[in-house]
């Protein structure tokens, strides 16, 4: 794979993972972590960067990505799990977040404050444009994104460099955070990049094939090299933005009706480049959110159309745009808060799925050894989130190993796999029609 092709695919992968909404999470985490910045941002990078990298690489085990890999576990699991993922990164959370992020960063600074009417009008216009482009046969969104991503990347890097020069002599915020690594790890769930990697790994494989690569080993190595480039860029940006949030002076007042991360990035932009900086950032974020929303509407609509061919792609595009519009009008913080318990249930299952697929590729494993741990992890994840949210009172869960750091699902993953291997000792093993070593 040529160096030029590695950069092309790497930048494409970066653009897929770095939605404009990802700007706000590391800044807010940095601000809230105080003297515990480094363990917090390390946890964030692990889930926001490391897991997507691993997920993409594991997806290259099969020439058809996770649709085939999940089918090895169970055909029903493949469909149900992908439906959950597409709805999560689609109309329920990720797509509404594109509109609300664009509104808070690109519009609210010029309105003075966020209002329900302002959000309603903006989101109506936003999703009308998104739907129009998603239904259009031309490649407008792709063409915008081709030039937008490098420009957005350069803009953010300049902002980070300027922030370093402004804040390098400052001290961290006088705040403390309990279990900062765990907080950063779970905050990384909000990027949704690890589960998006499961849905979109096939896009990366096809892009590499498009460069002329046909050999399976070269395809695998191309995936690693391209992914590594995207990881370096994401890691640098998350670390830089988080550091800026950590070192910036404490604002005199934080609006109660505005997202913390969006508000902080506005202040940093204003201090770095003045009102022109806020305008430039607003325009870039708006366009980035627009193209991200178009891509997600198209991807989700195409997937559901493949499941239900009797319902057209255009019909799904209308349906999901409408759902996204309704969800967006709850406001950015409401969308994020609603996603927290859902992601708390999904992420342990997604991480476990990727781990089990990787293990079963190298270690002969029966289907039951993959199914049993996933059932156990899914059950404990749902119960833990319900207990932590106060929906169920299950204090017995707090006695589980690693519960205090929210990793109680890890021992069950190991126990379930071992039990599955014992139960399925004489049963047929899962095999993959691929080889990359």
Domain-by-domain residue ranges, the chain?
3-343
pLDDT of residue 379: 97
pLDDT of residue 211: 80
pLDDT digits (tens, 9 = 90+) for 93-141: 999 999 999 999 989 988 888 889 999 999 999 999 999 988 875 565 5
Residue 113 exposed, middle or buried by CB count within 10 Å (0-12, 13-18, 19+): exposed
pLDDT of residue 435: 47
pLDDT of residue 137: 53
Q: Are 108 and 258 in contact (CB under 8 A)?
A: yes
Cα distance between residue 272 and residue 204, in whole Å: 36
Residue 222: CA atoms inside 13 Å, Cβ hemisphere, count?
A: 27
Q: Enumerate residues 6+ apart whose C-beta is below 8 A from 4.
A: none
C-alpha Rg value of the chain to the nearest Å: 22
Q: Are 145 and 15 in contact (CB under 8 A)?
A: yes
Task: For the chain, list residues with pLDDT below 70.
Answer: 20, 137-146, 173-174, 252, 433-437
CATH number of 3-343: 1.20.1740.10
HEC-encoded secondary structure of 374-420: HHHHHHHHHHHHHHHCCCCCCHHHHHCCCHHHCCCHHHHHHHHHHHH
Q: Please give the structure tokens belonging to residue 345.
A: 């249930």
Q: Please give the structure tokens belonging to residue 190.
A: 């909000």
pLDDT of residue 91: 96
pLDDT of residue 146: 67
pLDDT of residue 6: 85
pLDDT of residue 437: 45
Cα distance between residue 215 and residue 263, in whole Å: 48
């Amino acid at each position: 794979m040529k160096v030029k092709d590695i950069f092309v695919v790497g930048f494409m992968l970066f653009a897929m993972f770095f939605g404009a909404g990802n700007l706000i999470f590391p800044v807010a985490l940095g601000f809230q972590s105080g003297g515990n910045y480094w363990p917090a941002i390390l946890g964030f990078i692990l889930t926001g960067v490391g897991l997507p990298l691993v997920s993409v690489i594991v997806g290259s085990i099969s020439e058809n990505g996770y649709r085939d890999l999940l089918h090895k576990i169970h055909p029903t699991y493949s469909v149900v799990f992908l439906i959950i993922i597409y709805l999560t990164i689609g109309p329920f959370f990720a797509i509404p977040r594109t509109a609300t992020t664009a509104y808070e960063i690109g519009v609210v600074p010029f309105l003075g404050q966020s209002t329900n009417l302002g959000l309603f009008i903006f989101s109506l216009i936003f999703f009308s444009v998104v739907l129009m482009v998603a239904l259009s046969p031309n490649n407008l969104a792709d063409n915008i994104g081709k030039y937008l991503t490098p420009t957005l990347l350069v803009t953010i890097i300049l902002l980070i460099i300027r922030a370093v020069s402004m804040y390098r002599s400052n001290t961290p915020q006088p705040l403390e955070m309990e279990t900062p690594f765990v907080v950063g790890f779970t905050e990384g769930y909000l990027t949704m990049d690890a589960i998006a990697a499961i849905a979109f790994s096939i896009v990366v494989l096809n892009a590499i094939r498009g460069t002329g690569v046909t050999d399976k080993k070269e395809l695998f190595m191309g995936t690693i090299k391209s992914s590594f480039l995207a990881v370096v860029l994401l890691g640098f940006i998350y670390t830089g933005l988080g550091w800026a949030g950590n070192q910036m002076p404490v604002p005199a007042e934080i609006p109660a009706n505005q997202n913390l991360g969006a508000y902080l990035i506005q202040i940093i932009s204003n201090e770095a480049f003045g009102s022109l900086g806020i305008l430039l950032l607003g325009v870039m974020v708006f366009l980035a959110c627009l193209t991200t929303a178009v891509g997600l509407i198209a991807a989700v609509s195409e997937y559901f159309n493949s499941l239900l061919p009797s319902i057209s792609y255009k019909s799904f595009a209308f349906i999901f745009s409408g759902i996204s519009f309704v969800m967006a009008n709850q406001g950015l913080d409401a969308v994020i808060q609603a996603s927290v318990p859902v992601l708390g249930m999904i992420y342990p299952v997604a991480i476990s799925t990727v781990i089990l697929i990787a293990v079963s590729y190298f270690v002969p494993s029966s289907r039951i050894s993959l199914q049993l741990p996933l059932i156990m992890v899914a059950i404990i994840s749902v119960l833990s989130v319900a207990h932590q949210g106060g929906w169920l009172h299950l204090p017995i869960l707090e006695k589980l190993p690693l519960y205090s750091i929210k990793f109680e699902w890890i021992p069950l993953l190991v126990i379930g796999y071992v039990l599955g291997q014992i139960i399925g000792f004489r049963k047929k093993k899962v095999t993959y029609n691929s080889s990359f070593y």
